Structure 1
């Protein structure tokens, strides 16, 4: 795990991991407990949500099931927020039951006072849906 030098930065990375673990269950209500009031989630395709149930609903239509293999966390403490990046791979099954793996993702979080205030999500799924030959 790559983190900043302060215990606060490590705590922010640990909290983001807990948020992501709750999101993968999926338990969007538990995941929401890690978010500050007014948190904005910008999901793939530029979809904007104010609760983890939004991305959960998108994922329910996109995948039979999906999980994250969280490979690393990069943490950058700043004067207004700590930025935490979760970088790794998605794996799971498409709706037709075809398995997939090695689908790159990056999630960027802004954390203030131990709560997520912003989340941005990127992954390869749209490209893989458009061109199935890219799937692994």
Structure 2
């Protein structure tokens, strides 16, 4: 992996760590001024506090069990996928685990330009019998 891509990956890791704290102020230090986050359900946010606020409504608490990062080096940008599982508790306190997620980041010069977020939470909320703790 080239040095630029390594730097971009470290920015994504630090952003995710801050986001899961949750510390959107610290997470914001890893994003571009033109940051765009397309969250589950095509909710669009321009700061890390947007997803943090949404998660505060959807979960009592939530964390990521990151299984791997896939890094795709481009000429000017690095595309980074974070894959794994969410675990935590729903607002009523019921625990959950093994909730698949994929985050896609576009990173340039060590700053996150955009991210897309997908997970199983909506399906699990519609049919609680499929969620596992």
Separation in structure 1 between the aligned mates of residue 97 and residue 39 of structure 2, nearest angstrom: 20
2: CA distance between counterparts of 1:39 and 1:52?
9
Structure 1 runs not aligned, ≥5 long: none
Q: Partner residue of 1:94?
A: 90
- Quote the Cα distance in structure 2 between the aligned partners of 1:65 and 1:93: 6
The alignment covers a number of residue pairs equal to 132
Q: If the length of structure 1 is used for normalisation, what is the TM-score?
A: 0.94
Structure 2 runs not aligned, ≥5 long: none
1:29-86 CA-to-partner distances (Å, cap 9, x unmatched) read: 1100000111100000000000011101110010000000111000001123100000
Runs of 4+ aligned structure 1 residues displaced above 6 Å come to none
TM-score for the superposition, normalised by structure 2:
0.97
Task: Spell out the pairing of 1:10-89 with structure 2 (5 A cutoff).
Answer: 10-89=6-85
CA RMSD, Structure 1 to Structure 2 (Å) = 0.8
1:99 is displaced (CA, Å) by 0.5
